[in-house]
Amino acid sequence: MLGPSRPPARSPCEIMPISEEHCMSDAYEALTANLAAADPEIERLIEAEGRRESEKIRLIASENYVSQAVMEATGSILTNKYSEGYAGKRYYEGQQFIDPIEQLAVDRAKELFGADHANVQPYSGSPANLAVYLAFLNPGDTVLGMALDMGGHLTHGHAVSATGKWFNNPRYGVRKDTGLIDLDEVAEIARKERPKLIICGGTAIPRTIDFAGFKAIADEVGAVLMADIAHIAGLVAGGAHPTPVGHADVVTTTTHKTLRGPRGAMILANEEHAKAIDKAVFPGLQGGPHNHTTAAIAVALREAAKASFKDYAAQIVKNAKALAAALAERGFDLVSGGTDNHLILADLTSKGIGGKPAAKALDIAGIELNFNTVPFDTRKPFDPSGLRLGTAAVTTRGMGEGDMDAIAGWIDRAVGAAKDGKDAELEVIAGEIREYTKAFPIPGWRA
């Protein structure tokens, strides 16, 4: 059955305040008019993707909706310009306007996060992490990171990553009884292995990260501490999660996810490490930055500095807690028992279905998330036991705690239908969700 009564439809301007001209009904058509004529096949696929994003409930923890302003900066004329180097120190002429754009992004990042130094040029989160390795390590050095199957990231030393092939990588995990990181175990491994770099943060950690505790361990063994906050950067910026700045020597993050910017990355660092980080990014790993992305990062950072963004970050957490509670009431086993941030990790073992078939069925039913390994999983990584969910995107659409109960109900119905082979029920749910989401328009897409 349906959840709460569908509320009146709201405009994208009410969800994500932007200037009035960006709320015009023809904004989408204006963006794609030339594309439709030049390449109708691509335009039709983009049209289909926009409709899909609008009509589904998107719970992938690493996804969000950017504002029309961020979208316009990303698609701007700045994509024409090549700019190797840094502001005031370029290898190409014609940087009169590029330099101040990048400097704005840098200054805004420093102010928003309270950092000494910011590099906004990394193309994505993985190269940003690799730049930290390049800045501080030599091949064969020891790095202590979180195991991938416990919630870490590929670039934290997994065997299939360059970081796993080129460095020695002992790993820490979580306690089996609590699902929480045991800092005593981290300290024990660090004393034994003497890493040069310790990484905290990951991709499937539903609880608050103790940055001060990690820093104490790093200081004890003489290691550099890197905090990867790709998932929680928006929560940190909005005051809904403790900040690693002031504890970690270096902080890496993507600029999408909870920060709600374009698909790019940043590195924040103490002043003493600024030069090493900049050299590692350029010329160490890449050439010219993507200036259109840099501009969009600057726009997103300006948006994140507003008071309304603090409300948004707080609502993400409220929604995640409400969704976690509603799932638990329906018999879902949650890793660590719940969440402190935007992310929920559910173990479906007790539901009698694997994470992959459940995720595929949920996609048909209009709910987008991803199958995911859970700690101490007995199933294979490509067919694991868990589901990973996040509330950043639905919060951007204006959904609140009451909507989370409706979503949990649909998830429960869809998982049950998938287990019992009731495919027709999935289509019924998808229809209900298409109707429900009409009240929550997405930025950058026509209603």
Catalytic residue among 203, 254, 258, 391: 254
**Cβ atoms 15, 397 nearer than 8 A:** yes
What letter represents residue 147's amino acid? A
Catalytic residue among 43, 47, 63, 84: 84
Catalytic residue among 149, 228, 278, 347: 228
Start-to-end C-alpha separation, the chain = 25
Distance separating alpha carbons of residues 288 and 371, to the nearest angstrom: 35
Look at residue 223 and give its three-state secondary structure: coil
154 is in an annotated binding site: yes
Cβ count near 262 (within 10 Å): 23
Look at residue 266 and give its three-state secondary structure: strand
Q: Would residue 228 show up in a list of annotated catalytic residues for this protein? A: yes
The rounded radius of gyration (Å) of the Cα atoms in the chain is 22
Catalytic residue among 56, 108, 171, 257: 257
Q: Would residue 263 show up in a list of annotated catalytic residues for this protein? A: yes
Catalytic residue among 81, 90, 263, 422: 263
Tokens representing residue 404 in the block:
């989370």
**Cβ atoms 321, 339 nearer than 8 A:** yes
152 is in an annotated binding site: yes
Distance separating alpha carbons of residues 58 and 391, to the nearest angstrom: 8
Q: Would residue 254 show up in a list of annotated catalytic residues for this protein? A: yes
Measured N-to-C along each axis, helices 27-38 and 40-55 cross at an angle, to the nearest 10 degrees, of: 150
Strand order in the sheet with 265-269: 117-119, 265-269, 250-254, 224-228, 197-200, 143-146, 171-172
**Cβ atoms 319, 391 nearer than 8 A:** yes
271 is in an annotated binding site: yes
Catalytic residue among 10, 43, 47, 82: 82
Name the DSSP letter for residue 156. G
The length of the chain in residues reads 447
Q: Which of 313, 153, 324 is nearest to 241 (CA)?
A: 313
**Cβ atoms 395, 312 nearer than 8 A:** yes
Q: Which of 170, 172, 161, 216 is nearest to 194 (CA)?
A: 170
Cβ neighbourhood burial of 60 (10 Å; 0-12, 13-18, 19+) = middle
Distance separating alpha carbons of residues 386 and 87, to the nearest angstrom: 45
Annotated binding site: 148, 152-154, 271
Active-site residues: which are they? 82, 84, 228, 254, 257, 263
Annotated binding site for (6S)-5,6,7,8-tetrahydrofolate: 148, 152-154, 271
